[in-house]
Amino acid sequence: MITCQRITIKRGGPMSDEKTMQKNQVSRRRFLQTIGVGAGALTLLNPVGLLRAQADETIRIGVLVPLLLDQGNSANRGAFIAKDEINRSTDKVLGRPLQLITADDQALPQVGAQQFTKLVTDQKALLVTGEFLDEVMLAIMPQIGRLGVPFVNTGSATPQTSQMVKGDYEQFKFYFRVMLNTEVLTEDTVAMAAALLKEKMGLTAMAILAEDGQFGRDYQKFMEEKLPSVGLSVAKGASLRFPLDNRDFGPFLAKITDSNAQAIIIAFAFNSGVGFVIEWASKAAHLPVVGINVAGQAFEYWKDTSGKVSSHLYADAATGATAVTPKTLPFFHSYVKRFKTRPIHPLFTGYTTYDAIYLIKEAIERIGTPPPPASDSSATASYRDQLVDALEKTDYVGTIGRIRFQGKNDRFPHDPMLKDAEGHTLVVPKWVQWLEKNDRGLVWPLSFLPSDVQQKLDEQWKAYRTGYQACSGAASCEAQDLKQLSQGLDTALGDNKETP
């Protein structure tokens, strides 16, 4: 039997050298210049023209990610860890090894659509997983329907994709998502803000700062709609959007500090947020920051921001300190043992893409027969239809929780269920706080923590609330109070932290 080969050309597979990757990176600005415009050259990490025998004896899965971003590299690495674990097992997948073919979408919509087509038509991938930017995922959707190829999304959050499944099931039934969509993320943000910011910390007036991309616009819209329902207000003149490539956050922070905002809710997916964090530390350090900052999930973010990110609270899929399921920490330790270049700890896409490879494996095993030769297009099309049926039956405990997909008539078809029929939580965001000395710790939901730690965290939030009220609006006093909260949470979490 021919074994699965690693792809190691140009932009590098999962073990690529960091300097080589940086040299080949496409600038973030290029994404802005090419939305809806012509795309550049394609880069596949697998040469075209592999022997047909290899294609027939391996199960070929495409991995489509932006390799210029930490999010893309973490996803690719998570996929390769899963693939290697599976291929080392006795049974593999119905006796056949997996082969991954990684393609770089360069964070460009047209490139992503073209790369997806190449993975399917030239590389003969049975199905594809990955993605990150909403704009790229939306550009791929028509090709998914046209080619009839399953796609398991592990990084893009736009709810539009699941609504496309609902609106035209036969066309878009091939699309599935492992992570949560933007509307669900905002609902969770609002619930967290009501319970933590409002009830425990005594803060009720929010500023919103979101990037001006698909994700940021959706997040801002949903936040403005949902915050009032839990007794939280949006400070007048403090719901703001910034350009995707923005670096100067001074004017935005000035508007926020001139308002009555008591905390800032952010939405950063494409923008790294480093400039924001550094300017926040000098101009608005008295305002707690919570929300989505995907780059801020990287362990290197502490160094990127010179430690200024301390006290920020960001949503994540999992951490290396909390056993969300029995599979969370083993994956985390496998990742950090194997990879010594950035990102040295997995971002959310690492967890979700690792899980995606395994649930694809289970779907194939649920069918009971391996895929037909890629040269038999009719049989392959029929098998892909069977894969849709098998994926819809997914009930898989992964690193991020228990993954079951919603039905075609549910609120978000082929997105993860949040709770089962008995009300048990299946998949939920985990709120991770940057602490002192480059530590990160999960602080919400409290149910993931031991009861004694929960009590200690409550004491710290209570102390913050008392101190905040005593400050009577003095920014320097509030900043010191927030710093003390970060230090107190660090101590309260004890060993329940992700450390260097």
The one-digit pLDDT tens for each residue of the chain (500 residues) are 333 333 333 333 443 333 333 333 345 554 444 433 333 334 555 554 444 445 458 999 999 999 999 999 999 999 999 999 999 999 999 999 999 999 999 999 999 999 999 999 999 999 999 999 999 999 999 999 999 999 999 999 999 999 999 999 999 999 999 999 999 999 999 999 999 999 999 999 999 999 999 999 999 999 999 999 999 999 999 999 999 999 999 999 999 999 999 999 999 999 999 999 999 999 999 999 999 999 999 999 999 999 999 999 999 998 888 899 999 999 999 999 999 999 999 999 999 999 999 999 999 999 999 999 999 999 999 999 999 999 999 999 999 999 999 999 999 999 999 999 999 999 999 999 999 888 899 999 999 999 999 999 999 999 999 999 999 999 999 999 999 999 999 999 999 988 76
The pairing of strands 127-130 and 151-153 is: parallel
pLDDT value at residue 438? 85
Paired tokens of 4? 């699965």
Identify which of 115, 111, 114, 153 has the alpha carbon closest to the alpha carbon of residue 134: 153
Q: How does DSSP classify residue 227? A: G
Q: Which residues of 212-221 are buried (b: 16+ CB within 10 A; e: fewer)?
A: bbbbbbbbbb
Phi, psi of 473 (to 5 degrees): 90, 0
pLDDT value for 297: 94
The residues that bridge with 208 in the sheet, in sequence order, are 239, 265
Q: How far apart are CA 481 and CA 320, in angstroms?
A: 28
Contacts of 421 (CB under 8 A, 6+ apart): none
Tokens read off for 37:
């415009």
Q: Which phi and psi angles does 207 have, rounded to 5°?
A: -100, 150
The DSSP 8-state label assigned to residue 307 in this structure reads T
Query: Domain residues of the chain, as ranges?
Result: 18-179+327-403, 183-316+430-493
Q: What is the DSSP code string of 179-217? A: S--HHHHHHHHHHHIIIIIIIIT---EEEEEEESSHHHH
Which two structure tokens, joined as six digits, stand for 42? 């394609």
Q: Establish whether domains 18-179+327-403 and 183-316+430-493 are of one fold.
A: yes
> What pLDDT sits at residue 130?
98
Paired tokens of 48: 């075209």
Check if the beta carbon of residue 161 is closer than 8 Å to that of residue 133. Answer: no
For residue 447, give both structure tokens.
């149910």
**In which element (H, E) is residue 387 found?**
helix 377-392
Q: Which residue has the tokens 């995907």?
A: 294
Whether domain 183-316+430-493 has CATH 1.10.730.10: no
pLDDT at 498: 85
User: 445 in the Ramachandran plot: left (φ > 0), alpha (ψ -120 to 50) or beta?
Assistant: beta
248 contacts: CB under 8 Å, gap ≥ 6: 275, 279
Chain centroid to CA 98: 24
The Cα–Cα gap between 66 and 330 comes to: 26
Omega within 30 of 0 (cis) for the link into 500: no
Asked if residues 490 and 439 have their Cβ atoms less than 8 Å apart, the reply is: yes
| Neighbouring residues of 199: CB distance < 8 A, sequence distance ≥ 6 | none
Homologous superfamily of the 18-179+327-403 domain (CATH):
Response regulator (3.40.50.2300)
What pLDDT score does 46 carry? 52
User: Quick one: tokens of 134?
Assistant: 């909403």
Q: How far apart, in Å, are the Cα atoms of 93 and each of 63, 88, 399?
A: 18, 11, 20
